[in-house]
Structure formats: C-alpha cells, structure tokens
Homo-oligomer: A and B are copies of this chain.
C-alpha cells in the first residue's frame, strides 16, 4: 500500500521538491524549492500543507538554506537563527513547523557542522514515516467492519511523509481487508477535502463520498455516520485540539448524536507550553479565499482554524497509542 501513495516530499541531491497541492487533483506537479523564499512561499500558500509535512519541509528547507553558506561560526549560527525565524513565520498556528525547525537548530548547536542540518532533517522525515505506521496500527481497530467514517480537511498521506494522520488508521484498516466507507467534508474555503482527501482515498481503493461541510448533520441524523476521525495542527496542554476551521462543528455534531470523535496526530503536535486552545493565535487568511468568483460581499471572516475543547474529543491517536485528550500530557511525559 505504502508505495502506491503519492510522495508528498522528495529530498534528492540536497534539493527539496514538494508535490504542489494547489494544483491537485487536476495536475500532478512537483515544485523544486531551491531557495528559502521558495519554501516560505510554498508553506504560506499551502503548496505543501498538513502539520507533519510542513515540519519535514521546513526542516529540509532550513538545512538546504545553509548548505552553500560561506559564513563561519558565530555568523553562520546567526544566519541559521534568522532563517529559522523566517521559516516559522510562514504559518504561525502549526506547532510542527516550529518544532521541526527548533530540532534542527538544536542538533546544529550540539554538533555544529553543515551536515548535521541535513542529517537531522532526514531523521525527522524517516521518523514521520515510522510514526505514521505506528499510528495506523493503533487506530485501525477503532474502525468497525462496515462503518462509515467522517473526516474533515486533508489529514491524509498528502499532509505527511506517507500514511497520513487521520488516514493512517483508514489505510491500515483497508490493508487488513476490512470493509468500511468514508465521507469526506469538502472543507471550505480551500476544498482540501474535495480536492485532496477524495483523490488520495479513491486512489487507494477506499469507498469515499464527497459531501459539503453542512451536510454531515443530516447524514448523522439518518444514522449514516459511525465515527469522526480528523487530524490536528496543535494539541494544547489541556488536550484542546486546534485544527482546520470546521472541526469544532463536526465535534459538536458528534456530541449531539453520540458519535465517537477521534483525533490522530504525531506526538510532536502536542504543545505543552500552551495551556489551552483559546491561548493559540488563530491565523486569519485572505478574504478572497471565501469570496471566490461568486460573491460581492464587503465584509468577510476567514479564520483558518478553530479550537475543539478537550471534553468533545473521545480520544487522541498517536504513535504511542490512544488516550483521552486530558491524559496526553501525562502519557507523553511518562515516555520521556
């Protein structure tokens, strides 16, 4: 299965290439990110997107940005820090971006060689692959035979190095030969569900139906959805889940209809430094994403994320297993 999934990121000859997710599914095109500005732009415009994939891409971009540097010692370190800050500014909400960049910087501070940067980025990349396999194994049994799973946005293969976050349990379950189906929210305003999730799940042979975001309630009312499974960009210390706008909507509907609501992510998405979801600064994106070609509205809101309070989350699936959101902090600190 894993080899049939699209390659979101390719690192070859010290150059990072990413599958351009703005062009999908109509065109399959790779962007070669030769300069740090290219990487910043690719992350900002969602050519590469999804919390884990952004982390891996930023780690590579930071490493690559210093490979041709003629600076030495303190000056090299200063430039590295400046590049790190610049890359982090591309998308403020995704905690994996800052996490991956900080890890590359820390590795360099430990072993101050150019090659350390690349080695660390490659390690992050390999770990993301391994972690997605573990997440799939843990989450797959949650999907009962013949169930229908609702997902929102694209927390898929395209959002990570391979198996995806919310999709890892789906791909693993599918490989186990268990029949189930997926309803994919189209996910306005950028249609990540309509463009990306339906495309990648169909390619893997999983029975997938596209719906508008506002149709899920109606499907739940008629008993056609058995669980929801989404990704996340950040889990705060208390277990609140920051994810694509509309996730809170799904969680509230699940609570109303008594449907389990699961979140899948790598443990690096956990942000113990931020106490609660409401402490996270939510990225406000351009009004034109909502307006499109059809509206002439003057006032528009376009928050990229919302906060699902931990009490609406049935469980969080990581590479270490499944736990209640309020237990995640203790589970991860026990492992350290």
Contact = CB atoms under 8 A, between A and B. Distances in A.
Contacts of A253: 249, 252
Contacts of A208: 297-299
A210 interface: yes
A188 B191 CA distance: 12
A299 B195 CA distance: 13
B246 A186 contact: no
B199 A299 contact: no
B296 A26 contact: yes
A210 B255 contact: no
Interface stretch (A75-83, A169-177, A226-234, A301-309): A301-309
B216 A249 contact: yes
Interface stretch (A46-54, A56-64, A92-100, A287-295): A287-295
**Could you tell me the dominant secondary structure of chain A's interface residues?**
mixed
Contacts of A213: 188, 212-214
A283 interface: no
A278 to B, nearest CB: 8
B252 A217 contact: yes
B296 A25 contact: yes
A34 interface: no
A214 B215 contact: no
Given A202-B298, A255-B256, A187 B209 contact: no
Contact of A301 (B187, B210, B248): B210
Contacts of A296: 25-26, 195, 198-199
A322 interface: no
Interface string A292-332: 10111111111100110000000000000000000000000
A71 interface: no
Contact of A194 (B184, B202, B211, B295): B295
A207 interface: yes
Most chain B CB within a 10 A radius of its CB, from A208, A219, A221: A221
A248 B299 CA distance: 25
Interface in A247-303: 248-249, 252-253, 255-256, 290-292, 294-303
Nearest to A244: B214
Contact of A189 (B26, B212, B255): B212
Most chain B CB within a 10 A radius of its CB, from A188, A207, A208, A295: A295
A26 B218 CA distance: 32
A36 interface: no
Given A202-B297, A210-B295, A210-B300, 8 more contacts: A188-B212, A208-B299, A210-B301, A212-B245, A214-B249, A215-B301, A218-B245, A256-B256
Of all A-B residue pairs in the complex, the 10 with the closest CB atoms, nearest first, are: A214-B246, A198-B297, A210-B297, A218-B306, A194-B295, A188-B212, A217-B249, A213-B214, A209-B299, A217-B248
18 contacts: A188-B188, A188-B213, A188-B214, A191-B294, A194-B294, A195-B296, A202-B298, A207-B299, A209-B299, A210-B295, A211-B300, A212-B245, A212-B290, A215-B301, A218-B248, A219-B301, A252-B252, A252-B256
